[in-house]
Structure 1
Amino acid sequence: MENSYRIPSKTHIGHVHLRVANLDKSLEFYHGLLGFEITEKVGEEAAFLSAGGYHHHIGLNTWNSKGAPKASRHGVGLYHTAIVFPSRKDLAKILNRLLEKDYPLLGAADHGVSEAIYLDDPDGNGVELYWDRPREEWPQKLDGSVKMYTRPLHLRDLLKELS
């Protein structure tokens, strides 16, 4: 498929809105566990969360999903939300917090360009927590394009960032 249009390189995804079954449980996860700030709450139906004072990075609502079952792993829909941390040490800090709270992890991977930790939110939505390596460290193919891979991420090595 050919497309002559190129999206501007400074474009980024601004926020994600998730349908959730229970707003309080979702707030416990995104605010209480991951540390996002609540920027606005709309009754018992919706909340907006941010990192660093932005109007919102995550919107949560129960408008059409209150009490609904968890997201299916085998249907169409969101695979995961990816949350980028500014440094490897910051990723180690959130990993340490998750381990302290005994929150279940689904996996961890080194992708060459990034290191990532995978988990689910209370509604079964996949969440990737990661940091990007500096661009000059990204593995490349012979033609100069990015060469991503998936290798195990050793969590003990990541936690050494906190020493």
Structure 2
Amino acid sequence: MLYIVLLLVLAALGLLVPALTTSEHVWAWLSVGASGAAACVLVLDWWLRRRSRYEAAVAPMAAAPVSLDQKISADDQGHLDRVPTDTPVSPDQGTEPVEEDTDAADLLIVTDLTAEVRVLDERPRYHLAACAWLDRRPSLGLPVNEARQLGFTPCAVCRPDNTLAEAHRSDARS
């Protein structure tokens, strides 16, 4: 879409040159028409992007459920009180999803993996690329072992440690 806008703007500029060098007004009106068409294409592109974001937000989340039968430490209880696990958390709300409770066996596997995870600037969690909590926010890809070394912790919505450890185990079996 942006290429179409660029072509229309260049056409408007090209039509403006004969409008200024000749005394015919038709070239100026054609230039204005091309500029208006470029503006319409920009508005259409904005509307389509906005609609696709809305549809993605409305789609049901494909997150693994958080097990409630696990022992909850006092530190984790504070996180659970702030962020309910049965409702999705939007990045726009300024709150973080709960940290994934990583199994020790999964932690040993993940610390050696170089699979890519996604992180957001100024946010403490790392996520899988398909995490619903990211919601198309600009993120940076890092190897999971580097993300852990930098102090990032796993997201409980997409459960990257569990998912990556399971994928590593299934690859090792094959």
Q: TM-score, normalised by structure 2?
A: 0.27
Q: Of Structure 1 and Structure 2, which has the larger fraction of its residues in helix?
A: 2
Q: Which has the larger radius of gyration?
A: 2
Length-normalised TM-score, structure 1:
0.28
